Amino acid sequence: MLTEKIREIAKKLLEEGKIEAFLCYEGTSHPFRNRAVLVKSPEEVKKLLWPSFGVINLATPLQKLKGQKAGILATGCVSRAIVVLIQEGQLKREDLFVVGVPCPGMLDPSKVRDKAPEIIDVIDDLKDEVLIVTPEDKIKFSREELLRNNCQECRHPVPPLYDLLLDFSGREKSPDPYRRVQEIEDLTLEERWQWFEREVLRRCFRCYACRQACPLCYCPTCFVDDSRPQWVGKTRDLIDTALYHLVRAYHLAGRCVDCGSCEAACPMDIPLRLLTKKLEKEALLAFSFEAGLDPEAPLLFTSFDENDPEDFMLTSELKASGKI
Amino acid sequence: MSWEPRIIAFLCNWCSYAGADLAGVSRLRYPPTIRIVRVPCSSRVSPAMILDALKSGADGVLVSGCHPGDCHYLTGNLFARRRFFMLKKLLEFVGLEPERVQFAWVSASEGDVFAKVVSELTEKIKLLGPNTRFRKILGGKI
Amino acid sequence: MGAGSVLVVGGGIAGVQAALDLAAGGFYVHLLERGPAIGGVMAQLDKTFPTNDCSMCILSPKLVEVGRDLNINLLTLSEILEVSGEPGNFKVRIRKNPRYVDESKCIACGQCAEKCPKKVPNEFDRGLSQRKAIYLLYPQAVPLKYAIDPRHCIWLKKPGRCGFCAKVCPAGAINFEDQPQELELEVGAIILAPGFETYDPTPLENFGYRRLPYVMTAHEFERLLSASGPTRGELIRLSDGRIPRKIAWIQCVGSRDINRAKVPYCSSVCCMYALKQALIAKEHIKGPFEAAIFYMDMRTMGKGFEAYLERARREGVRLLRSRVHTILPAEEGLLLHYVDEKGNLKDESFDMVVLSVGLKPHPTLPSLSQVLSAPQDEFGFLETRLLENRPGVFVCGVGAGPKDIPETVVEASAAAARVENLLAEARHTETREKTYPPERFVFPEAPRIGVFICHCGINIASVVDVEAVTTFARELPDVVYAGHNLFTCAQDTINRIVATIKERQLNRVVIAACTPRTHEPLFQETLRAAGLNPFLFEMANIRDQDSWVHPDDPERATQKAKELVLMAVNRVRLKRPVPLATIKVRRAALVVGGGLSGMQAALSLANQGFEVALVEKSQELGGFARRLFREVYGKPLKVLAEELAAKVASHPRIDVRLGVTISNVEGSVGNFRTTLSDGNVIEHGVVIIATGARPYLPQGRFAFGYGEDKRVKTLLEIDELLERKDPLLKELRQAVFIQCVGSRNEEHPYCSRVCCTHTMEQIIKLKEINPELEIFVLYRDIRTFGKKEILYQKARELGAVFIRYTPERMPQVETKEGLKVLVFDEILKRDLVFEPNLLILANGIVPDAASRELAQFYKCATTSEGFMLEAHLKLRPVDFATEGVFMAGLCHYPKFAEESLSQALAAAARAATVLAKEDLPAESLVAQVDPRRCTACGQCVALCPYHAPSLEEVRPFGLVSVINPSLCKGCGNCAAACRCGAIQVKNLEEEPVLAAVEGSFGRIWY
Amino acid sequence: MAEMAPLLITPETRPKLREIFEKELSFVNLDLCLTCGMCASGCPASGIDGLDPRKFLRLIMFGADEKILSSQWIWVCTLCDRCRYVCPMNINIARMVYRIRGMVPKEKRPPNLQRSCELQKKTNSTGIPNEDFVWVVNDVLEEARQEPGWEDLKAPIDKKGAEYYLNQNAKEPTVEPEEMVHLWKILHVVGIDWTYSSKWWDGANYCLFTGDPEDWEYTLRKQVETIEELGCKYYINTE
Amino acid sequence: MFYAVLEGLRRFKIPHSFKFVSIITLYARWIREGRLKVDPSWNKEGLKVTVQDPCKLVRQGLGDQVAEDLRFVIKAVVGEENFVDVYPNMSNNYCCGGGGGSIQAGFREKRMRFGRYKFEQVAKTGADIVVTPCHNCHTQLIDLGTYYKGKFKAVHLWNLITKALVR
């Protein structure tokens, strides 16, 4: 049903020449892996499908199609990524035909992988059940359990920007999007550092897959590759790794659309998203700002407000305590 | 010799640096734990500068600029305020003691405020002790 | 010839300021100075109120500027012989007395003075120390050349004898045969800035000056405090070397005294300098110290002065409203016998007594006025009407009457404006361009850094071990020269730095001294003079941010100084030469506010040939001056305002816009674009803000029945009655004034300066109409400063009785049954109750609420009270911190109409220093984009308030951000925000900052 | 002294004393007082009876005439003028005290002082008859001439045409006559031509202090007449 | 009183052909002219002598000039090394409290209190003799001496001159 709708619309667009190519997902030989694919002719449309494991954010390859009129399948986070890229001048709205999908959420390959030693197929009813087919039998799981973390915590399954929205009923807004962030925040300072060291610093071996996967990391020379001055070391030294992750997350403040590509790309399954999710939470609370909802709105760091909070500042604290 | 905290202070040239000068002209006293780096505006201070200072061994980092509305470059400090807010939240989230990285507004006529800020900050960091967590020691720990 | 040059007589701060403004305004200046060096009395001061800046530190940059300005011909040891001709074409005969030292050869090494046997009292130190017959007036003298004093030189008296100096002088500069020369100058106008002499209290022997030890004049005490003084700033009693732990200041010595001193005026500055000396003395003495000031009225009526008084009170300076008959000798000190405010007899001993001596016309004034046939007033000062003594001859500074330094500086600039009005056509006809040696191409050279560390007298050296820091600096890599000097900002040191740069082929300079905010331009000029790009320079602030704030920890202060030097070296090593950018100046001015000041400023600029746009929010010109009936320069102010309004309205070069306010401002000095509320846009190079202020409406604690009882009126309402010759005034039997209504309180912590004099003028007028009227004035301090003291004396003569009240015991007014005013008289220790037919409230002046918003349009600030905040309270009273923005009138601070007119002229002269130029130096350290790394994300474009960055197609990089150097101010906001690191600010990249941080940990950065 | 009831100053309270000093003796500059307290700090009478020169002026300003006229302070003040010596406004307090003394009725003035002035107007301040003065002088002279070397000592009286006229304080002839000899010896050694006068000879003149200018003038004119009669060229005022 | 005549002549504009002069001025002139020879050697025990400047003679009379003459005579008569001055002095001297008719006015207690500065000043010099060239000062200084138990004696100048007289 959803896959057919996708193929149908892609074929129509290609035939009508509205688009020169359509960016979507296709299956792979691997039972729980999907990959992006670019189809240029109506015939190739049959390759397309609704990817239960579409962990790659199509907005990343989309940037390579500069100049071509391209169609794209856009879930909530992909569409928001496109909005941010438009705001940052990396994409032109008129070059795109966005086919929006009210996203049912995608499954997490790592979670599926751990369910059985050998899996030959995964059947996803896109509602509430997933069947994992092993050589011996079919195991049923609640879909919620296998969903990717970001999809569980997704605040905008419905894409904010589209040319055409497939009629499909996807997920509801997550009632408790910042649950995991809260868990870490509730730890003591000491525990938080230990969590950061254990979960992130000790496991990351600086392969930069997260950076390559992220649609919004498009700098020609990333700060980490800068040599004059090279202030972030290339070694696996804890502090250098910490600096890399902190500045990477900071560079996504007010931009990250929580599409989870970084976490999916990370070979070490490092919970990278928590850093950007924390910043998303703070931006929402302090500046009631959310990324990628309206191409006309200003970005977080290129705007300010008279009464932005400043109680975090030392002078405010000293003034409050009557010291100055 | 008792450990003395080392604080790097990025002061905006038009207000806070002038405030520090005024503290001098008014012969106020504050502990010699601070090393001032003059920058044109508080908005010139990037996270790289702050984090690098911590990495290089600073026990505390202070960034101080003009009060909102007084910025010589009009809105520099207003943009900077959001950046500092987000950076501070992030650092707290990963477990860096919040007292180590501080932001302040000190105007050109607030010599006394500047002296007080430095003394208070030094006291706070003395309680925390040296910055072992974020300091990079060559041949550091893996 | 001659119309394009001006003769300025007097090398004090007044003469120096007038000369600098005229030179910058395109006129050639002959600066005539009696003594061997310029600087005047201000050079003798240690610190200046109310900022407590060290006087030399803020004066020496101006003196050095005069010394180096091609368009100022400095004639020292010279005097005027004869003046002829008329305005625009004066011929002046000058006699240049012999210096007996060849100025071109003397390098001020001081060998001659060491060898010279003849010791004489040093008049610069008021005789407290000795100097030789061959001497330097003071360490930072400009020109820094020795001179032989013919009255004492042994050889000159009996040729052949002594002559040691000539034998020793390495430069062979001594010339005993030097003869006086006479020269003839052709000038278009003359500005007299003769300065003043402090009163010699010897005739008042009851004060025991020169009879009792430990009694000295404030002028001598200032030398005692000064770092270049007889004791190098150490506060001790010269007679026995002991530290004076308790000092008394006695006010009004040689002022307000028509009996023995025969000086009827108030010298305006003594109250403030006494407070300052008390505060600074406290700083010079470690351990217990007590200061007491014996005064009649504490006259702190200037801007920032009242706050200074409160600060002195807070720091324990005792203010005793009582005067001492005779200073008596006591064991090792002095005994003061006085009656305190409560009337109790008190005996108190002090270690030292300072006599706050007043200001007197300079002794040479009579001869000067005779030579120039410039009339003197009844006090011996020079007559002036709006700074003009006679056609073509202008007077500024204390030569025209007692005033403090900010007023002197305003008058100096105003006099410059008057001259520029007179000689407008001759602008730029006789000036020469400044040329610098070609800039050395240092790019390929390895860094060769020179480090110069300053003692700043005792300010740094008394805490930081300057030698240790120098040796530390010498061992740093790439540092090829390290040395230290007593005063790095002094002329000779600057010349030595230029020489060292050339000798050692230095290509980067670090100076460890005071704050770059004041001295960076001066040292950058030095680099240019040595053929080095001025941006290959960094300062380490080891004074204001080290020695001054860590005095009791010299060891760690020295360690900090070393690290600050290392930080500076690391940072300067990475600096690259940056070309000096300039921006085109739009030769037009905008004046905001059509009141007295605005009109006068606009007129002056228009008469100088510049286009002026005058914006006024009301529908008529004249502002508040229309509602004042005072006599100003012989005319009722109302008439003067109307005359000015007519001239402004009809002036071809003034475009008057009424009923309009400012809605937006863009651009910076040289090209502002101001959008008005009616949508029009004015393009101009400079702006003068003259938005005035408004009277305080008595309310709350200061209502005193105003509004309840119609017999309670304000000064302005009385003005109107007087103007209408209202019959009510004739029937009055008793009138009471209350001073300081709404001023000098928490809400308005400043003095409104004009109300006391306004009250006196009204008393005199009321008494003329109704001699029988009994007048009582309830006051806190009567502040009729300067020559206005005569009005106070006249008011008392006419029978007005003055009763002092204190904020703790305010006068009470009851309006229930009839008008009653109750006040406690301290002398009789009784309550007095008056039943006046008229109660007049001397209400103050409060700032206009719109000031703050207008200031922000031009990126300027206002003081906490709401007045405009000038760049420097003392030496730049009409400039804002933002370049090209000036101010005049009540928006700066309450002042008299005469002072507003002067300040308006001063603002015009200061604006002319910008408009007179084709192009202005712009910000050179601007941001640059590396197109290879730019992703055209547009973040920088959205951030910049100056709209400097913009996205443009640049081959072969496509759409990238490009920054317009003339708009960019170098704040670096975009550089910090650019994730890709594509934007860097010249010489302020990430790397130098990180290098500096590494330096603070003692590590080198390569 | 406890704070007294408030002093009501209405248009009707016309201060009389102040009127006099403003109209008749305007040169005393009463109104110019700056209440700076310099006079009070230098006056030895400050603090006596709770008064000092500044307070004295203040009472005049606010019309407390009775309080002043009845005070003893105006008699304690010796009119020594030390207050005016430094007063910035040159206020002549001594002259005002003198005038106020004149306004006190004669019987209310200190009796001895008034009497010595009355005596002065008759003969001399101690009231001894002129003949006694002549007698005492000659008697003492007689005795003084006994001393070896002083045989021709002189103390001429009413010597017409003498070059110097010398006055003589009434205290010596009345109480300690021999004190006069010293001066005679000195004048003798110097050898000047001097003389006393037998009437109006008294150097002291307490009419200077009672406050009535006419008495002071009368006694002085008498002296001048005597001297003019004697035709002396110099009038020496004794110690 | 010197002032009575000096000021009287002026204030009442009394015509007079004689010149009014103080004996002090004449003492000084005569000593300077040598007509009055004095020799201080009589003061063998080195009695220390100070001086009281009478207000009516000095401050209100002839001013510092006559005070200088007064000191010149005393030094000539008692020996310069034995003279010690009071401070303040001459035209700014303290009034002893005897003038203005206060002795006759009879308020003794107040007069004594008036003269305390003068007493302290004279006592402080440690002088044995204080020269009082005015009758009121003479009486007052004696009274102060007894009242405040001073050790000085008040004498007229002529006493000292006669002691030092050289025939």
pLDDT tens, residue by residue, C9-53: 999 999 999 999 999 999 999 999 999 999 999 999 988 998 887
Q: Is-contact C927 C976, C-beta < 8 A? A: no
Place of tokens 């009255």: C151
Which residues in C lie closer than 8 A to residue A221 (C-beta atoms)? Answer: 932-933, 980-981
Shared-domain flag, residues A139 and A220? no
Query: In this model, does residue E138 exceed pLDDT 50?
Result: yes
**Tokens standing for residue A84:** 């941010």
Shared-domain flag, residues A136 and A179? no
CB contact under 8 A, E87 and C205: no
Shared-domain flag, residues C425 and C522? no
Which residue of D lies nearest to C207 if distances are taken between CA atoms? D86
Smallest CA–CA distance, residue C208 to chain E, in Å, is 9
Which residues in B lie closer than 8 A to residue C990 (C-beta atoms)? Answer: 46, 48-49
| 495-554 in chain C: CB under 8 A from chain E | none
Average pLDDT over residues A214-241: 89
Contact with chain C for residue B78, Cβ under 8 A = no
DSSP-based three-state secondary structure for C914: helix
- Number of domains into which chain C is organized: 7
CB contact under 8 A, E9 and D205: no
Shared-domain flag, residues A46 and A157? yes
Average pLDDT over residues D197-208: 88
Mutate to test the interface with A, among C929, C953, C960, C979 (most CBs of A within 10 A): C979
Smallest CA–CA distance, residue B84 to chain C, in Å, is 12
Architecture per CATH, E2-164: 3-Layer(aba) Sandwich (3.40)
Shared-domain flag, residues C763 and C740? yes
Average pLDDT over residues C588-602: 95
**Tokens standing for residue A273:** 């998203």
CB contact under 8 A, D76 and E118: no
Nearest beta carbon to residue D89 from set C258, C321, C338: C258
Q: How far apart are CA C606 and CA C424, in angstroms?
A: 10
In a domain? residue C142: yes
Cβ pairs bridging C and E (under 8 Å)? 10
Amino acid making up residue C129? S
**Tokens standing for residue C166:** 């000539």
Report pLDDT for D126.
86
Average pLDDT over residues E81-109: 92
Nearest beta carbon to residue A220 from set C933, C943, C951: C933
Run of H or E including C840? strand C838-843
Looking at C518, C546, C573, the residue that finishes a domain is C573
* CA distances for C876 relative to C60, C713, C931, angstroms: 14, 38, 42
Q: Do chains C and D touch (3 or more CB pairs under 8 A)?
A: yes
Bridge partners (DSSP) listed for residue C248: C292, C353
At C788, is the pLDDT very low, low, confident or very high (cuts 50, 70, 90)?
A: very high
Nearest beta carbon to residue C935 from set A90, A229, A298: A90
In a domain? residue A139: yes
Q: How far apart are CA C104 and CA C81, in angstroms?
A: 26
Nearest beta carbon to residue C980 from set A219, A228, A299: A219
What is the DSSP pairing of strand C119-121 with strand C130-132?
antiparallel
Smallest CA–CA distance, residue C485 to chain D, in Å, is 49
Q: How far apart are CA C864 and CA B108, in angstroms?
A: 12
Cβ pairs bridging A and C (under 8 Å)? 47
| pTM: predicted TM-score of the whole model, two decimal places | 0.77
Average pLDDT over residues D190-211: 90
Residue extents of the structural domains in chain D: 16-104, 121-236
Contact with chain A for residue C976, Cβ under 8 A = no
Tell me whether residue B48 is exposed, middle or buried, using C-beta atoms within 10 angstroms of its C-beta: 0 to 12, 13 to 18, 19 or more.
buried
pLDDT tens, residue by residue, B58-73: 999 999 998 887 787 8
The larger pLDDT score, comparing residue A115 to residue C290, is at C290
What is the DSSP pairing of strand C333-339 with strand C345-350?
antiparallel
CB contact under 8 A, E135 and D203: yes
Smallest CA–CA distance, residue C997 to chain B, in Å, is 6
pLDDT tens, residue by residue, C492-545: 889 999 999 999 999 999 999 999 987 898 899 999 999 999 999 999 999 999
pLDDT tens, residue by residue, A21-53: 999 999 998 988 999 999 999 989 999 999 999
DSSP-based three-state secondary structure for C320: strand
pLDDT tens, residue by residue, D101-150: 999 999 889 998 999 888 888 888 888 899 999 999 999 999 999 999 89
Query: In this model, does residue C1 exceed pLDDT 80?
Result: no
* Range in C178-182, D20-24, E65-69 the model is least confident about: D20-24
Q: Is-contact E22 E4, C-beta < 8 A? A: no
Q: How far apart are CA C678 and CA C43, in angstroms?
A: 50
CB contact under 8 A, C548 and B24: yes
Average pLDDT over residues C662-678: 90
Contact with chain B for residue C543, Cβ under 8 A = yes
Length of chain A: 324
Report pLDDT for B142.
44
Smallest CA–CA distance, residue A247 to chain C, in Å, is 9
Sheet holding A138-142, edge to edge: A121-124, A129-133, A138-142
Q: How far apart are CA E167 and CA E165, in angstroms?
A: 6
In this structure, how many other beta carbons lie within 10 angstroms of the beta carbon of residue E108?
A: 12
Sketch out chain B's domains with CATH numbers.
7-128 (3.40.50)
Smallest CA–CA distance, residue E142 to chain D, in Å, is 15
Contact with chain C for residue A223, Cβ under 8 A = yes
Average pLDDT over residues B81-104: 95
* CA distances for C525 relative to A78, C497, C532, C583, C817, angstroms: 57, 11, 9, 19, 73
Report pLDDT for B1.
57
* CA distances for C185 relative to B10, C30, C390, angstroms: 54, 8, 19
Report pLDDT for D1.
44
At D3, is the pLDDT very low, low, confident or very high (cuts 50, 70, 90)?
A: low
Q: How far apart are CA C908 and CA A252, in angstroms?
A: 52
Shared-domain flag, residues C272 and C259? yes
Report pLDDT for C816.
86
Report pLDDT for D15.
83
Q: What is the CATH number of the domain that holds C66?
A: 3.50.50.60
Contact with chain C for residue B44, Cβ under 8 A = yes
Shared-domain flag, residues A47 and A69? yes
Which residues in A lie closer than 8 A to residue C981 (C-beta atoms)? Answer: 219, 221, 223, 226
Characterize B102-140 residue by residue with b for buried, 16 or more Cβ atoms within 10 angstroms of its Cβ, and e for exposed: bbbbbbbbbbebbbbbbbbbbebbbeeeebebbebeeee
Per cent of chain A over pLDDT 70 is 100
CB contact under 8 A, E102 and D224: no
Which residues in C lie closer than 8 A to residue E120 (C-beta atoms)? Answer: none
- Is the four-CA dihedral A239, A243, A244, A245 of positive or negative sign? positive
Contact with chain B for residue A324, Cβ under 8 A = yes
Query: In this model, does residue B15 exceed pLDDT 80?
Result: yes
In this structure, how many other beta carbons lie within 10 angstroms of the beta carbon of residue A26?
A: 17
Q: What is the CATH number of the domain that holds C494?
A: 3.40.50
Smallest CA–CA distance, residue C313 to chain D, in Å, is 20
Which residue of E lies nearest to D206 if distances are taken between CA atoms? E101
Per cent of chain A over pLDDT 90 is 75
Q: Is-contact E106 D80, C-beta < 8 A? A: no
Cβ neighbors of C670 (< 8 A, separation 6 or more) are C583, C584, C585, C586, C685, C884, C914, C919, C920, C922
For chain C, the average pLDDT equals 92
**Tokens standing for residue E86:** 């009071």
Report pLDDT for C306.
95
Q: How far apart are the first and last CA of chain A?
A: 67
Q: What are phi and psi of A122, to 5 degrees?
A: -135, 125
Length of chain D: 239
Q: Is-contact C259 D87, C-beta < 8 A? A: yes
Report pLDDT for C334.
95
Q: How far apart are CA B3 and CA B126, in angstroms?
A: 8
Query: In this model, does residue A228 exceed pLDDT 80?
Result: no
Q: Is-contact B136 A238, C-beta < 8 A? A: no
- Number of domains into which chain A is organized: 2
In a domain? residue A250: yes
CB contact under 8 A, B48 and A231: yes
- Give, as one character, the DSSP assignment of residue C966: T
Which residue of C lies nearest to B8 if distances are taken between CA atoms? C997
Shared-domain flag, residues A51 and A196? yes
Length of chain C: 1006
Contact with chain D for residue E121, Cβ under 8 A = no
Question: What ipTM was assigned to the predicted interfaces of this complex?
Answer: 0.71
Contact with chain C for residue A228, Cβ under 8 A = yes
* Range in B111-115, C137-141, C208-212 the model is least confident about: C137-141
In a domain? residue A286: yes
Q: Which domain holds residue C830?
A: 700-844
Q: How far apart are CA D95 and CA D85, in angstroms?
A: 13
Report pLDDT for D2.
47
Report pLDDT for C535.
95
Angle at Cα C860 formed by Cα C858 and Cα C861, nearest 5°?
Answer: 145
Smallest CA–CA distance, residue D70 to chain E, in Å, is 14
CB contact under 8 A, D58 and C776: no
Q: Is-contact A75 A81, C-beta < 8 A? A: no
Mutate to test the interface with E, among C259, C326, C338 (most CBs of E within 10 A): C326
Report pLDDT for B139.
56
Query: In this model, does residue E90 exceed pLDDT 60?
Result: yes
Q: How far apart are CA B74 and CA D71, in angstroms?
A: 73
* CA distances for D12 relative to C732, C734, C895, angstroms: 12, 9, 39
* Range in C487-491, C888-892, D216-220, E141-145 the model is least confident about: C487-491
Q: Which domain holds residue A121?
A: 109-146
Shared-domain flag, residues C134 and C172? yes
Characterize C659-676 residue by residue with b for buried, 16 or more Cβ atoms within 10 angstroms of its Cβ, and e for exposed: ebbbeebbbbbbbbebeb
Q: What are phi and psi of A206, to 5 degrees?
A: 60, 45
For chain E, the average pLDDT equals 92
pLDDT tens, residue by residue, C941-971: 999 988 889 999 999 999 999 998 878 889 9
In a domain? residue C1006: no
CB contact under 8 A, A240 and B141: no
| 35-54 in chain C: CB under 8 A from chain B | 51-53
Query: In this model, does residue A14 exceed pLDDT 70?
Result: yes
Beta strands in chain A (DSSP E): 21-27, 34-39, 70-74, 96-100, 121-124, 129-133, 138-142, 164-165
* Range in C71-75, C137-141, C154-158, D19-23 the model is least confident about: C137-141
Closest CA to C943 of C976, C984, C989, C966: C976
Place of tokens 């992220």: A214
Which residues in D lie closer than 8 A to residue C834 (C-beta atoms)? Answer: 9-10
Chains touching chain B, criterion 3+ CB pairs below 8 Å: A, C
Query: In this model, does residue C206 exceed pLDDT 60?
Result: yes
CB contact under 8 A, B70 and C985: no
What is the DSSP pairing of strand C537-541 with strand C582-584?
unpaired
Shared-domain flag, residues C82 and C15? yes
Which residues in C lie closer than 8 A to residue A220 (C-beta atoms)? Answer: 932-933, 935, 980
In this structure, how many other beta carbons lie within 10 angstroms of the beta carbon of residue C222?
A: 25
Nearest beta carbon to residue C856 from set B14, B36, B69: B69
Which residues in D lie closer than 8 A to residue E35 (C-beta atoms)? Answer: 189-191
Number of continuous H segments (helices) and E segments (strands) in chain A = 13, 8
Place of tokens 């504009």: E13
Which residues in B lie closer than 8 A to residue A275 (C-beta atoms)? Answer: 90, 93-94
**Tokens standing for residue A71:** 């169609």
Chains touching chain D, criterion 3+ CB pairs below 8 Å: C, E
Q: Is-contact D202 D125, C-beta < 8 A? A: yes
Smallest CA–CA distance, residue D209 to chain C, in Å, is 25
Average pLDDT over residues A289-314: 92
Looking at C380, C410, C435, the residue that finishes a domain is C435
Cβ neighbors of B35 (< 8 A, separation 6 or more) are B6, B7, B8, B9, C560, C563, C564, C567, C997, C1000
CB contact under 8 A, B57 and C882: no
